[in-house]
Amino acid sequence: MSTGTRILGIEGTAWAASAAVYDSATDDVFIESDAYQPESGGIHPREAAEHMHDAIPRVVATALEHARETSDRPAGEPPVDAIAFSRGPGLGPCLRVVGTAARALSQTLDVPLVGVNHMVAHLEIGRHTSGFDLPVCLNASGANAHLLAYRNGRYRVLGETMDTGVGNAIDKFTRHVGWSHPGGPKVEEAATDGEYVDLPYVVKGMDFSFSGIMSAAKQRYDDGVPVEDVCYSLQETIFGMLAEVSERALSLTGGDELVLGGGVAQNARLREMLEEMCEQRGADFHAPEARFLRDNAGMIAVLGAKMYEVGDVLPIEESRVDPNFRPDQVPVSWRTDEPELAIGRENGTVQGAEATVDLSPEAGRATKRREVKTYRHPKLDDRLRRERTRIEARLTSQARREGVPTPVLSDVDSRESRLVLEYVGDRDLRESLSADRVRDVGRHLANLHRAGFVHGDPTTRNVRTSPERTYLIDFGLGYHTDHVEDYAMDLHVFDQSLVGTASDPGPLRRAVREGYRDAGEERVLDRLREIEGRGRYVDDGAES
């Protein structure tokens, strides 16, 4: 007789009506799905909800029949231990259909109800199938794009899209050229015959934006650039951005495991880029099999089993769905491990996100080389490395003139993407976090912003400390701007890195705001509050 946990999972966040049965004793997952296919354009919420209304009873009946046929439990006992359902995020009308079905089935079978966050399920199925302990996860789906890592009992958002999900961004282009939903597979097919053309490339720390690249791609197509060239360049640029920010997340956390989730993860070029990035970095990479990448109830059932086994169940009256249910709002009840940050050496060669740095403390020198990223298209990679080397040299020196402690630059070779800088500090900020240090960073960023430029990637790894001073380093993603939104995003990037590395980020997040207020403009903090109020970010003890 099976002694494992058996869970019936139901998924219906957007387009896939799906039900599954998971048996933890055998690790078997049975999935039955019925996908909504719009006749034209993208997903229509009303039509998707109508599809869910029709399809959910069918797929649930099939899954329940499988559960009964494979059950060796005594007659009269329910064939599953609990009902797990996708509680959000997703389209409200679709989620409500699924929530209603889950509640009815829970009451009919007299078994508990488990509410699962769809995005955390994408992460957990990757962790489950890979066997990784502490992976960083890139979720690349239609409506979302997140970088997540476990810290202080939750999956923290280290970076995410600043506008739209990666799949939706691609679909906007394919609708423009008249292709039906879903657009991703059509772009992937067309890209096989394409050649590279320049498109905007926007990363801010570990955040990223797709709106500019989509507008440019539409314009290239309208200007007569062959559609296969635009598709090829879309993939090279968008996926290059996702691979880069994933490497930044690995660098920040000291991690050496990356899992990929979400429907866009079915794209072979994205998986190839991430695998090559991890291989070059010495990290392990895993993408689950295709049936677990697209929206599916299997991942809901697997995570539902983990939650059920620790008693994380929902009373019926508290089972309301949440279309804006963020992954960092979920208490991770099924894990008790807490990762320690892997700290690099202070002598020898240190590997960052985009460069290796040869440290010579005795000589007071650090030699930084931006390495060739073989996962990126050679033209794009060459442009980024040269541009960022020049920008870093210029802004490092400009920041010093504004009174911000930075390394003195002694040599720069943009052709070789090499910089020779003064060795400053004795450790990264992530090793010496304190309110005073973080307050210094707030003041330094305010000084940069008053001078009309941003750092671009102010994380706890790009701040160096000594007993006397707090230095900013690595200005390669910086740029000149007079937009208050850019200044607020600069602060937000640092804020995210505190959440991802600090054991108690709340007081530190307040300290950086205090430091900024000392030297900067209140309107920037007002905009930071506005950004956080847009629903992309979760409060973790900071007060502006």
d(CA 303, CA 292): 12
Cα-trace Rg, the chain: 24
Mean pLDDT throughout 412-433? 93
User: 3-state DSSP call for residue 318?
Assistant: helix
Asked whether 473 and 459 are in contact (CB, 8 A), the reply is no
Banded model confidence at residue 544, pLDDT cuts 50, 70, 90: very low
Residues 279 and 379 in one domain: no
d(CA 316, CA 19): 20
Banded model confidence at residue 538, pLDDT cuts 50, 70, 90: very low
d(CA 344, CA 543): 32
Tell me, yes or no, whether 343 lies in a domain. Answer: no
Measured from the Cβ of residue 493, the count of other Cβ atoms closer than 10 Å reads 23
Percent of all residues in the chain with a pLDDT value above 70, rounded to a whole number:
95
Residues 263 and 398 in one domain: no
User: Which CATH number goes with the domain that contains 510?
Assistant: 1.10.510.10
Residues 59 and 151 in one domain: no
**Looking up tokens 């772009």, which residue turns up?**
187
Q: First CA to last CA across the chain, in angstroms?
A: 57
Residues 365 and 495 in one domain: yes
Residues 369 and 272 in one domain: no
Tell me, yes or no, whether 11 lies in a domain. Answer: yes
Q: How confident is the model over 285-302, as pLDDT tens digits?
A: 999 999 999 889 999 999
State residue 540's pLDDT score: 42
Single-letter residue type at 253: T
State residue 269's pLDDT score: 97
**Looking at the 3D structure of the chain, how many domains does it have?**
3
Percent of all residues in the chain with a pLDDT value above 90, rounded to a whole number:
76
Residues 283 and 300 in one domain: no
Measured from the Cβ of residue 58, the count of other Cβ atoms closer than 10 Å reads 13
d(CA 445, CA 426): 21
User: Which CATH number goes with the domain that contains 142?
Assistant: 3.30.420.40
Tell me, yes or no, whether 72 lies in a domain. Answer: yes
Give me the active site residues, please: 457
d(CA 468, CA 118): 46
Residues 214 and 176 in one domain: yes
Residues 525 and 385 in one domain: yes
Residues 191 and 303 in one domain: no
Tell me, yes or no, whether 445 lies in a domain. Answer: yes
Q: Is the pLDDT of residue 512 over 60?
A: yes
d(CA 47, CA 57): 16
DSSP string, 82-95: EEEEEEESS-HHHH
Residues 356 and 502 in one domain: yes
State residue 143's pLDDT score: 79
Q: How far is CA 154 from CA 315, 329, 332, in A?
A: 22, 8, 5
d(CA 264, CA 227): 20
Domain boundary among 287, 304, 320: 287
**144: containing domain:** 131-287
Q: How confident is the model over 290-345, as pLDDT tens digits?
A: 999 988 999 999 999 999 999 999 999 999 999 989 888 999 999 987 666 555 54
* DSSP secondary structure letter of residue 363: T
Tell me, yes or no, whether 543 lies in a domain. Answer: no
Single-letter residue type at 417: S
